[in-house]
């Protein structure tokens, strides 16, 4: 009887459920009937070539864009129904408090003219924190968790290196302990050693806090180290998905096969 | 038969310099501004015989409010006798027949640049403030359409961020004039460049305040009995300028906002609200037996340098 139980992952309901997402930009189809599920504490990797729709999908997850059709639910208290139906204000609050995002380009996610600690503090301010001492303390905790050197917490991101900028973005994203952390090519553009350090930080965060993550990357190495489950996208469709090892060791779809072999 | 013989003799259609349609437009925008306290209403800023940046916004609101029975006071940095204040005041009276005054208690309309009078304003008085830059979000968001969206979303995180960084850099909030304030719990406004000393005077005040920027073509209002709360951290109290203990070297009055006049050695201070100083001097002269010098000082917002 016990042997018949499904794997543990399947017994908990998914945190994120997206079904039937379609998005067209003019004549270009960015997403064509894409569905995705992410379970609590899991790391989902999305891989695909440029223009495969993976970034569009991530933008949808961060509610920055609305699809032509489709359904998006997060299994969080007081969030019933399709999240795309929320109004501007509710969307903004949801993104600020429950979803953290790290962009490939730090200019997109950070206020470059403000201090690093200020960037983290802004998140807390939006969520309603009004005590200066608490802002300072919570900013320090978040920066420490992303392994940012605290003696530079009041430097502006523009004065920092690329790896440090990504750490500030990460601190900003996790400051409010979000339910979902989205990473859009977090290590692209960093050199290999820095890339390894940032991935280390991410891995440790994931282990310590069991944050649910979605990582978009075209770098299979990143996904191999980070992801539990992988989704392969091409031309706005999901062509293959499964456990990371399974997909990388035994790719079924011919596109995935060429992808894996191109890497090797 | 000439056309002149068939038409009515010329008579003025309006008073107060602006034509009736301009006044109507302004009145509608002023009513809107009162309806949504602190929200900036765009309006068609008219030409007035004064350069933009010299108080054209305030002037247009005052001209719209004026009637021949009004009594106007114009303040420039607290003074009634500066060239700018004197010429605006005489212009207002010339185009409308309104009476001029220096006395805060006697005025029905007070147009001001940079100061709110020290004497409490009553419910029958209107304060018009000239504003150079009505947008509190401008330092953080140069794009005005995005700034308007941020107002609509009540997205003021970045204004707090400025205060946060001032605290980090300097250990205190460095914002001097035009301290951003939350009006009625909803919109953040720039209370024109009035000093921090004057911002609490707007909170739950009896009088109606209009703030108008002629160059930027925006006006907003603080209706009577409306909350005006400066943005402050819960553990860093709002601080007004440290003027409570200063004494005016001309009138001997203590406990009001002062102008600093640098001297060869140190500096002396004089009341910024010049007519309050004049009244204080007349009062002390009357007590000393000088005839006809008596004057009356009304209740003031600050008492002994603190706001009760």
pLDDT, tens digit, 9 for 90 and up, residues A129-145: 899 999 999 999 999 88
β-sheet bridge partners, residue B167: none
Judge whether residue A1 has pLDDT over 50.
no
pLDDT at A256: 86
Please, are residues B119 and B104 in contact by the beta-carbon 8 Å criterion? yes
Please, are residues B219 and B210 in contact by the beta-carbon 8 Å criterion? yes
Which positions in chain A touch B153 (Cβ < 8 Å)? 88-89, 92
Interface contact B236-A132, CB threshold 8 A:
yes
Tokens of B220: 């907003």
pLDDT at B247: 92
Query: What's the rounded mean pLDDT across residues A144-160?
Result: 89
Which positions in chain B touch A115 (Cβ < 8 Å)? 165, 168
pLDDT at B69: 92
Interface contact A131-B160, CB threshold 8 A:
no
A37 touches chain B (CB under 8 A): no
pLDDT at B192: 81
Kind plus residue range of the DSSP H or E element containing A225: helix A220-226
Q: How far is CA B81 from CA A7, B275, B296, B308, in A?
A: 85, 9, 20, 30
Interface contact B158-A122, CB threshold 8 A:
yes
Judge whether residue A206 has pLDDT over 90.
no
pLDDT at A101: 92
Summarize pLDDT for B197-229 with one digit per residue, the tens.
999 999 999 999 999 999 999 999 999 999 999
pLDDT at B188: 95
Selecting from B153, B161, B236 the residue whose C-beta is nearest the C-beta of A118 gives B161
Query: What's the rounded mean pLDDT across residues A120-131?
Result: 90
Judge whether residue A2 has pLDDT over 50.
no
Judge whether residue A102 has pLDDT over 70.
yes
Summarize pLDDT for B151-189 with one digit per residue, the tens.
998 889 899 999 999 999 998 888 888 899 999 999 999
pLDDT at A220: 85
Judge whether residue A189 has pLDDT over 80.
no
Look at phi and psi of residue B274 and say left if phi exceeds 0, alpha if psi is from -120 to 50, else beta. alpha
**What residue of B is the nearest CA neighbor of A127?**
B157
Tokens of B12: 């003025």
Q: Listing from the earlier edge strand, what are the strands of the sheet with A43-48?
A: A99-102, A180-184, A212-217, A43-48, A229-234, A237-243
Q: Regarding predicted confidence, which is higher, A97 or B295?
A: A97
pLDDT at B287: 84
pTM of the entire structure?
0.85
DSSP string, B174-233: ---SS--EEETTTEEE--TT--GGGHHHHTT-SSEEEEEETTTTEEEEE-TT--EEE---
Judge whether residue A82 has pLDDT over 80.
yes
- pLDDT grade for A9, boundaries at 50, 70 and 90: low
Low-confidence ranges of chain B (pLDDT < 70): 292-293
Domains and CATH numbers, chain B: 20-135+183-228 (3.40.50.11310)
Distance from CA of A169 to the nearest CA of B (A): 16
A125 touches chain B (CB under 8 A): yes
Query: What's the rounded mean pLDDT across residues A85-113?
Result: 89
Selecting from B153, B164, B165 the residue whose C-beta is nearest the C-beta of A88 gives B153
Please, are residues A231 and A36 in contact by the beta-carbon 8 Å criterion? yes
Interface contact A122-B161, CB threshold 8 A:
yes
pLDDT at B290: 76
Give the integer Cα–Cα distance in Å for B196 and B198.
Answer: 5
Q: What is the ipTM, given to two decimal places?
A: 0.83
Q: Using DSSP, state whether A213 is helix, strand or coil.
A: strand
Q: Indicate the range of A5-9, A21-25, B116-120 predicted with least confidence.
A: A5-9
């Amino acid at each position: 009887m016990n042997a018949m139980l499904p794997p543990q992952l399947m017994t908990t309901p998914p945190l994120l459920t997206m079904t039937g997402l379609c998005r067209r930009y003019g004549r270009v189809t960015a997403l064509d009937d894409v569905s995705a599920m992410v379970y609590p504490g899991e790391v989902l990797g999305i891989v695909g070539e440029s223009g495969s729709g993976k970034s569009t999908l991530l933008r949808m997850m961060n509610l920055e864009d609305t699809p032509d059709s489709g359904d998006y639910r997060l299994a969080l208290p007081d969030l019933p129904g399709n999240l795309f139906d929320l109004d501007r204000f509710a969307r903004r609050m949801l993104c600020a408090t429950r979803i953290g995002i790290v962009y490939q380009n730090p200019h997109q996610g950070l206020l470059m003219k403000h201090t690093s600690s200020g960037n983290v503090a802004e998140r807390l301010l939006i969520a309603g924190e009004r005590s200066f001492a608490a802002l300072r303390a919570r900013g320090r905790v978040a920066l420490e968790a992303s392994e940012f050197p605290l003696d530079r917490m009041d430097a502006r991101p523009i004065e920092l290196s690329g790896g440090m900028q990504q750490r500030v973005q990460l601190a900003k994203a996790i400051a409010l302990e979000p339910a979902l952390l989205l990473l859009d090519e977090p290590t692209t553009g960093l050199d290999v050693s820095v890339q390894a350090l940032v991935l280390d930080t991410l891995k440790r965060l994931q282990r310590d806090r069991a944050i649910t993550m979605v990582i978009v990357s075209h770098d299979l190495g990143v996904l191999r180290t980070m992801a539990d489950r992988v989704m392969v996208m091409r031309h706005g469709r999901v062509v293959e998905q499964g456990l990371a090892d399974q997909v990388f060791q035994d790719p079924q779809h011919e596109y995935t096969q060429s992808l894996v072999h191109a890497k090797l | 038969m000439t056309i002149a013989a068939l038409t009515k003799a010329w008579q003025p259609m309006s008073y107060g310099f602006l034509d009736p349609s301009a006044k109507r437009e302004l009145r509608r925008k002023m009513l809107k501004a009162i309806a949504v306290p602190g929200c900036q209403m765009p309006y068609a800023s008219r030409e007035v015989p004064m350069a933009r940046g010299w108080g054209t916004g305030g002037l247009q609101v005052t001209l719209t409010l004026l009637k021949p029975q009004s009594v106007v006071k114009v303040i420039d940095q607290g003074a009634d006798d500066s060239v700018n204040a004197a010429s605006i005041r005489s212009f207002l009276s010339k185009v409308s027949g309104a009476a001029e005054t220096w006395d805060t208690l006697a005025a029905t309309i007070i147009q001001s640049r940079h100061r709110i009078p020290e004497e409490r304003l009553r419910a029958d008085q209107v304060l018009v403030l000239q504003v150079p830059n009505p947008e509190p979000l401008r330092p953080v968001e140069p794009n005005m359409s995005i700034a308007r969206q941020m107002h609509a979303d009540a997205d003021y995180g970045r204004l707090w961020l400025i205060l946060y960084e001032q605290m980090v850099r300097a250990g205190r909030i460095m914002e001097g004039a035009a301290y951003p304030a939350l009006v009625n719990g909803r919109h953040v406004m720039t209370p024109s460049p009035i000093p921090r000393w004057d911002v609490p005077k707007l909170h739950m005040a009896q009088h109606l305040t209009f703030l108008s920027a002629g160059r930027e073509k925006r006006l907003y209002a603080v209706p009577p009995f409306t909350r005006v709360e400066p943005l402050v951290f819960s553990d860093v109290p709002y601080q007004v300028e440290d003027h409570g203990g200063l004494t005016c070297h001309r009138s001997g009055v203590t406990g009001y906002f002062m102008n600093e006049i640098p001297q060869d050695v140190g500096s002396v201070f004089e009341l910024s609200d010049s007519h309050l100083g004049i009244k204080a001097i007349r009062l002390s002269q009357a007590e000393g037996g000088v005839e006809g010098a008596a004057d009356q000082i009304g209740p003031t917002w600050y008492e002994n340098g603190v706001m009760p």
